[in-house]
Amino acid sequence: MYSSRKAKRSRQSIYWTKTFWGVFPLVDNYADEEYFYLIAVHTGLRKSAGTKSRVSFCLSGEFNDTGVRQLRDGIREANIFSFIYLLCFGFSSASLLYFVMACPGSLGPLQCLRIWIDNSEKSGDASWYLDRIDVTDIQTGHT
């Protein structure tokens, strides 16, 4: 009994680690896009800082912009384990999530990030305390 509980807990912790500490591709990436940016999203450490609303953004550089993109991966919310689903859907308080965004080419030196939520969550998790976002050009290493 003890060993089976320990094994189950171990499997859950492995899954937990993959779910919360991975790097997720954005749901609207295209397979033929070959230029990549790493987006680190830091949600603030306050009560009710997280959100379950949909987050969208537009990243602009000197040469181009991304157009409207969705800041979600389609993986975490498709999780069939309901207790993990409730924890990992959206952006929880004090979370750090990494996403990979694909683009057809370089945006150039980054100039502006516009980000918004649609307030689609009606249960009180509609607002969001976004602490900061770090965007790194994976090819050059510039942030």
In a domain, residue 7? The reply is no
* Proportion of the chain above pLDDT 70, given as a percent: 71
Alpha-carbon distance of 50 to 120, in angstroms, equals 13
In a domain, residue 101? The reply is yes
Residue type present at position 119:
N
> Mean pLDDT in the chain?
78
Tallying the residues shown for the chain, one arrives at 143
In a domain, residue 52? The reply is yes
In a domain, residue 93? The reply is yes
In a domain, residue 3? The reply is no
pLDDT confidence of residue 103 = 95
Higher-pLDDT residue of 18, 5: 5
117 in helix, strand or coil?
Answer: strand
In a domain, residue 11? The reply is no
In a domain, residue 15? The reply is no
In this predicted structure, the answer to whether residue 133 has a pLDDT above a threshold of 90 is yes
Q: How confident is the model at residue 11 (pLDDT cuts 50, 70, 90)?
A: very low
Domain at 51, CATH number: 2.60.60.20
The stretch 47-73 carries a mean pLDDT of 89
pLDDT confidence of residue 91 = 79
Higher-pLDDT residue of 117, 61: 61
In a domain, residue 5? The reply is no
For residue 17, the cross-strand partners are none
Among 11-15, 25-29, 124-128, the least confident range: 11-15
Alpha-carbon distance of 85 to 76, in angstroms, equals 7
Q: Which domain holds residue 133?
A: 23-137
Q: How many domains does the chain have?
A: 1
